[in-house]
Structure 1
Amino acid sequence: MISAETLGWIFVAATVATLPALWAVAGLPRYAPGRPNDQGPLRRIADGGHFVLGNGYLRAIAGCALFWNFAFSALLVTMVPLVTDAFLMEPGIFGIAMACFGLAAFAGSGIAARYAGRIRPNLLLLFGPASSVPAVLLLLTVAPGGSPFAIYAAFFGLGFGPAMWLIAQNSVRQIVSPRDMLGRVNAMIQTTIYGARPLGALCGGFLVAATAPRDALAFIAGCFALSFAVAAISRLRTIRSYGDLAAAEAA
């Protein structure tokens, strides 16, 4: 937890922790550059957006990611006033909750990778956003001055299912996107993800200032529900295996 005693070394420790990541990146394979594209960057971005919007799978992935990341960023802004003012707990509780989120992401990614051939993709693509809704609603049950374990469980739920969803949707992206369009498709999805985050943070901050942390939390739960709704009504729910999807795309 960050405190007056830890400020002297916490950022140094965080910097040192990035060294294994740099070492891992340095070991990635190197590929020969592809044929240069004569199109300008704006035209390529427009082509990528047009392709994503025109494909039912990619359109659903983008919509699901948009609402989920908007809601998650709004939640992060809301959590400190929620913990301190509504739950009457120490702000360091939020740091532990984020650690639970990270551990859950590792666990969800590991399970998705290990059992990818045994779990139908549509289950992962629906479970990820669906599990976020009860996880956030769990925060509404926390009593002032009570136990923080519900907070930890909520953030574990927010990390576990969505990490599995992230792996599954990446597989779908690679299958349904032509090789020459994959980079542009990935760029559009990433733009959707990272573009939604500052908007969610601004909205979360405005709601906390204008209403109360618990009211903001109810709005955030609704945004997570929209993320699930996008996936539930889309073609993502029909993907029973990656092999069948690849065969259908090749036909």
Structure 2
Amino acid sequence: MTTTATTDRADRADRPAPPPLLRDRRFLRLWTAQSVSQLGDRISELALPLIAVTALHATAVQVSLLTALAWAPNLLGLLFGAWVDQRPGKRRLMITADLVRAAALATLPLAHLLDAVSLGQLYAVAVVTGSAGVLFNSAYSPFFVRLVPRSQYVEANSRLSTSRSASYLVGPAIGGALVQALTAPVAVLTDAVSFLASAALLGRLPVTEEPAPAGDAGPPMLARARAGLAFTLRHPVLRASLGCCTTVNFFTFMAAGLTLFFASRTLGLSASAIGLALGAGATGSLLGAVLAPRISRAIGVGRAIAAGAVLFPAPTALVAVAGGPLWARAGALTAAEFLAGAGVMLFDINLNSLQARVIPDALRSRVSGAFGTVNYGARPLGALAGGLLAAAIGTRATLLAAALGGCLAVLWLLPSPIPGLRSLDSLDEPAPDPAVTAP
């Protein structure tokens, strides 16, 4: 008797091989749009905290609050995903999100010209750009799987992550130089322009959009949101990866809101020195993105995910123990960025490809929203916890605690099927859970 899984594999074998990604104009435009946007993001990630630290003399708690507010909209990701799930034209939603982020960021250089930049404005910009980012990400997942064949998920994610890694390589150095030469608020304008460029490139994508939902049929938004969360928690791969990602994000964001503060205030590094150190260290991300597919083939997708889950948070300890002459302090920041960048690429590329493989098409936006609500929702909580803990026990001790806590995230994976997974081809086609699948 022929099983469904066997039939699915036979059907996939009979399909013609998709064209190489580098000859696919649709993917190349998406790749270019993401690359331009990522480069701008690296500049803002450096400039926004430096506005708070150097221009507005913010405390550790205030800097952590800025990081928390940027990620706080992800707590509503469950609702974003359910809403996006019922909307046709995912590309239009992504373009809208890019335009909103560009407009919000452009208010900072304008306020700088009027000598009116404040912490309140920084907080508002963080919330608006964070909300638009959640909208973009909720639409991106179903858009990506319509654009890229299943057999090319790992390759596509590797190329996209390579661009992200390259942005970490050059972005901080460019950002540091721009901040030093033009001031941080003006440097943010670069990110606003990058979002405009991304929107223009996405607008030129000749992608066939999915049909609009038929009338008002189907359950209400809250019911769809619950369905996405229920499926995520029922699925053994998604449940374990969610626990791991959430733990990693909580502890790494305990450190993320404090690293630039610590490097500037405690280590005494200038904006250009921080930018150069982060840029040099970002070669680890680039190397990790390039090698992730090879490593996953050598040791298996599951083991690569587990290795990345430890290598990503652990190097924060190097920053915490940094001291001595300038070259040693800058070198510790560089080494930590290098190792963490390699780890996060190994973790993200393989885990994103695995998730794309196991989530049914009908549930992608809802699962993406549910996953983002819990996973990314831990980021603002971690940032706030980091600021409060730093005020209580000091920044250096908080960074050490974040490194240790982040490494514990791998414990979520050990009892799951993930560590034993050799390749994505060994998985059957995703089958929706009838208990939670709804139109």
Equivalent residue, structure 2, for 1:155: 337
- Whether 1:191 and 2:373 are equivalent positions in the alignment is yes
Higher relative contact order (CA 8 A, sep 6+): 1
Equivalent residue, structure 2, for 1:33: 211
Which letter does structure 2 place at the counterpart of 1:241? S
Q: Which digits, 9 at most, give the CA deviation of each residue in 1:114-156, with x for residues without a partner? A: 7765552012211211102431222233114442112111112
Equivalent residue, structure 2, for 1:61: 241
Equivalent residue, structure 2, for 1:209: 391
Q: Which digits, 9 at most, give the CA deviation of each residue in 1:11-53, with x for residues without a partner? A: 2333333344334423442322254451111111111111111
Equivalent residue, structure 1, for 2:406: 224
- Whether 1:165 and 2:347 are equivalent positions in the alignment is yes
- Whether 1:99 and 2:279 are equivalent positions in the alignment is yes
CA contact (8 A) 1:66 1:192 kept: yes
Equivalent residue, structure 1, for 2:194: 17
CA contact (8 A) 2:302 2:422 kept: yes
| Corresponding residue SS for 2:413 | helix
Higher mean C-alpha deviation, range 107-116 or range 214-223: 107-116
CA contact (8 A) 1:86 1:144 kept: no
Counting matched residue pairs gives: 250
Which letter does structure 1 place at the counterpart of 2:182? T
| Corresponding residue SS for 2:211 | coil
Higher mean C-alpha deviation, range 214-223 or range 80-89: 80-89
Higher mean C-alpha deviation, range 57-66 or range 2-11: 2-11
Change (3 A) 1:138 1:112: same
| Corresponding residue SS for 2:188 | helix
Q: Which digits, 9 at most, give the CA deviation of each residue in 1:210-240, with x for residues without a partner? A: 1211110122012211222222343211111
Higher mean C-alpha deviation, range 40-49 or range 143-152: 143-152
Mark the runs of 5 or more structure 1 residues left unpaired by the alignment. Answer: none
Q: Which digits, 9 at most, give the CA deviation of each residue in 1:140-192, with x for residues without a partner? A: 33114442112111112222221232221222222222222222111111222
Distance 1:27 1:3 in 2: 32
CA contact (8 A) 1:64 1:230 kept: yes
Structure with higher Rg: it is 2
* Percent of paired sites with the same residue: 24
Change (3 A) 1:203 1:142: same
Distance 1:247 1:185 in 2: 17
CA contact (8 A) 1:70 1:199 kept: yes
Which letter does structure 2 place at the counterpart of 1:186? S
CA contact (8 A) 2:295 2:304 kept: no
Which letter does structure 1 place at the counterpart of 2:202? V
Which letter does structure 1 place at the counterpart of 2:187? I
Coordinate RMSD, CA, aligned: 2.8
Change (3 A) 1:115 1:216: closer
Distance 1:184 1:153 in 2: 38
